[in-house]
């Protein structure tokens, strides 16, 4: 019967001193190797998996894969075998945690540190690909960092689902790897290749700098973002940001043929970024929210970009903190006042200086209609009629024609300045005019006065 070891147990040639971590396949312990006195990382497969042929084969394959890799940035393997019904691998113990923990603690690394770590990981991938090994699960938690005050040193680990010369051992219908770092062609179910590892490393670069994966959401949403969303980018406020964006665009290209030809080429560009940032150790980049961040953020990003990586977030070129000014109101609102905001005294009016309104004048006053507000004695000119009978103020409105049946008043003076006789207002039937009625009234009054005088004298 299999016996799973615990801290303090002796496990073959190793004495377990501490637990480093726990994964889906087993537990990683810190252990001291007898005879050599060195501390190793002891990975022990869970007993329920050791009895299954596929997991057993995967575990042994990890050991053989690591054993044939010779790289300063790949975890070294010391020993492997079976003890008390449990499979184990004794590996190089790297103190300092993994890249995922560093990102979580710092919220993203400065440019120089990020470029250095990812460049070293690219070197590990180059050595693995040269040995015919495709990792298939490149992500921050599989990049270990050595605890050193001198310089950063990264190690690529966890080759448990790596693909070598034989076909992969994943369950039919499934895809090995982590969705947040999976290349578009792998989301379509295609076979992994060195180009898919390069895409995953581009996602690691974004995550290391931005502090979050390039795309976020459910596995389905993230997979669709890898297929459709633009590559996430950083705000190009610095030449280093442009260099980083160029690396992201090439490593995370949707078409595998458009990516770097190999991991060594990507490593060269990352080293150039690290060298450029040598004197700017604390420089950090800001994700461009005008681009695609993917569901939940490009990010962008992770949403991811993004992330996205040209989407989303984020009308292009806009700052999230910049406020759009309210629209100008050209109605009764005073100058400088819009959208209900109080007017500022003396605020300029769009399109020119503010003009004071004319003072109110009652009808018939100095400023009544027909006089200019600025000069009451100057009558306002009447616009001349336009050809075609249109009104000057509104060309689309035809002017009202004069009525020939209603003539205007006759002139008061005739030729030579002599007064014209009053025109008769009698109708065509010959009825009395107003002047005749007035004459009769005068005559009647004279007759009445005469009668009164006669009566007084009798």
Each domain of the chain, given as residue ranges in start order, spans: 10-92, 99-164+177-307
Percent of the chain with pLDDT over 90: 40
For the domain spanning 10-92, the CATH number is 3.30.200.20
Tokens 């495709």, residue located = 134
Q: What is the pLDDT of residue 290?
A: 54
Question: Residue 43, annotated ligand binder?
Answer: yes
Active-site residue, 54 included: no
Does residue 129 surpass a pLDDT of 60? yes
pLDDT band at 155, cuts 50/70/90? very high
Average pLDDT (95-114) is: 93
The secondary structure of 409-424 as a DSSP string is PPPSB-GGGPBPPPPP
**Catalytic residue from among 98, 137, 158, 197:** 137
Task: Calculate Rg over the CA atoms of the chain.
Answer: 47
Q: What is the pLDDT of residue 457?
A: 65
Percent of the chain with pLDDT over 70: 62
Q: In which element (H, E) is residue 32 found?
A: strand 26-33
Q: What is the pLDDT of residue 242?
A: 96
Q: What is the pLDDT of residue 152?
A: 85
Q: Collapse the DSSP code of 103 into the 3-class scheme (helix H, G, I; strand E, B; otherwise coil) and give the result.
A: helix
428 compared with 134, residue with greater pLDDT: 134
Q: What is the pLDDT of residue 132?
A: 85
In angstroms, rounded to a whole number, what is the distance separating the alpha carbons of residues 434 and 201? 111
| Shared fold status for 10-92 and 99-164+177-307 | no
What pLDDT digit, counting tens, does each position of 232-265 carry? 999 998 899 999 999 999 999 999 999 999 999 9
The CATH architecture to which 99-164+177-307 belongs is: Orthogonal Bundle (1.10)
Point out the least confidently predicted range of 30-44, 54-68, 181-195, 251-265.
54-68
Q: Judge whether 117 and 143 are in contact, CB under 8 Å.
A: yes
Q: What is the pLDDT of residue 440?
A: 77
101 compared with 444, residue with greater pLDDT: 101
Instruction: For the beta carbon of residue 314, count every other beta carbon within 10 angstroms.
Output: 30
Q: What is the pLDDT of residue 199?
A: 98
Q: What is the pLDDT of residue 269?
A: 98
pLDDT band at 453, cuts 50/70/90? low
In angstroms, rounded to a whole number, what is the distance separating the alpha carbons of residues 306 and 285? 15
In angstroms, rounded to a whole number, what is the distance separating the alpha carbons of residues 141 and 158? 9
Does residue 350 surpass a pLDDT of 50? no
Retrieve residue 397's tokens.
């409105």
Average pLDDT (106-123) is: 95
Centroid of chain to Cα 39: 48
Average pLDDT (271-277) is: 96
pLDDT band at 458, cuts 50/70/90? low
Does residue 20 surpass a pLDDT of 80? yes
Does residue 406 surpass a pLDDT of 90? no
Q: What is the pLDDT of residue 148?
A: 66
Does residue 38 surpass a pLDDT of 80? yes
What pLDDT digit, counting tens, does each position of 300-335 carry? 333 333 333 333 333 333 333 333 333 333 333 333
Average pLDDT (56-61) is: 76
Question: Average pLDDT, whole number, for the chain?
Answer: 73
Point out the least confidently predicted range of 166-180, 234-248, 289-303, 429-443.
289-303
First to last CA, the chain: 169
């Amino acid at each position: 019967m299999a016996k799973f070891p615990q801290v303090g147990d002796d496990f073959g040639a190793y004495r377990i001193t501490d637990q480093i971590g726990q994964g889906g396949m087993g537990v990683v312990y810190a252990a001291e190797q007898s005879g050599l006195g060195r501390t190793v990382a002891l990975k022990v497969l869970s007993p329920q998996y050791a009895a299954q042929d596929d997991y057993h084969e995967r575990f042994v394959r990890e050991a053989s894969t690591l054993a044939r890799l010779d790289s300063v940035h790949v975890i070294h393997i010391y020993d492997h075998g079976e003890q008390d019904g449990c499979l184990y691998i004794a590996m190089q113990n790297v103190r300092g945690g993994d890249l995922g923990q560093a990102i979580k603690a710092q919220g993203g690394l400065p440019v120089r540190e990020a470029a250095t770590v990812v460049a070293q990981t690219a070197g590990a991938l180059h050595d693995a690909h040269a040995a015919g090994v495709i990792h298939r699960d490149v992500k921050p938690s599989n990049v270990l960092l050595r605890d050193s005050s001198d310089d950063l040193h990264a190690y690529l680990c966890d080759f448990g689902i790596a693909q070598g010369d034989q076909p992969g051992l994943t369950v039919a219908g499934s895809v090995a790897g982590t969705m947040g770092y999976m290349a578009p062609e792998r989301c379509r179910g295609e076979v992994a290749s060195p180009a898919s590892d390069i895409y995953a490393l581009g996602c690691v670069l974004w995550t290391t700098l931005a502090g979050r994966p390039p795309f976020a959401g459910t596995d389905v949403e993230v997979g669709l973002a890898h297929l459709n969303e633009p590559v996430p980018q950083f705000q190009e406020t610095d030449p280093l940001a442009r260099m980083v964006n160029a690396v992201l665009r090439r490593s995370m290209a949707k078409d595998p043929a458009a990516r770097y030809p190999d991991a060594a080429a990507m490593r060269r560009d990352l080293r150039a970024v690290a060298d450029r940032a040598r004197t700017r150790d604390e420089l950090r980049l800001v994700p461009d929210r005008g681009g695609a961040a993917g569901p939940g953020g490009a990010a962008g990003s992770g949403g991811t970009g993004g992330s996205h990586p040209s989407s989303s977030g984020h009308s292009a070129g806009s700052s999230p903190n910049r406020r759009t000014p309210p629209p100008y109101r050209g109605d009764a609102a005073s100058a400088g006042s819009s959208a209900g905001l109080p007017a500022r005294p003396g605020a300029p009016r769009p399109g020119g200086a503010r003009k004071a309104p004319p003072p109110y004048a009652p009808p018939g006053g100095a400023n009544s209609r027909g006089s200019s507000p600025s000069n009451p004695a100057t009558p306002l000119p009447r616009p001349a009629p336009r050809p075609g009978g249109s009104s000057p103020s509104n060309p689309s409105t035809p002017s009202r024609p004069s009525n020939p049946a209603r003539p205007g008043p006759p002139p008061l003076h005739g030729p030579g300045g002599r007064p014209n006789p009053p025109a008769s207002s009698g109708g065509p039937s010959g009825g009395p005019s107003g002047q005749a009625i007035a004459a009769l009234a005068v005559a009647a009054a004279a007759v009445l006065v005469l009668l009164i005088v006669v009566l007084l004298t009798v």
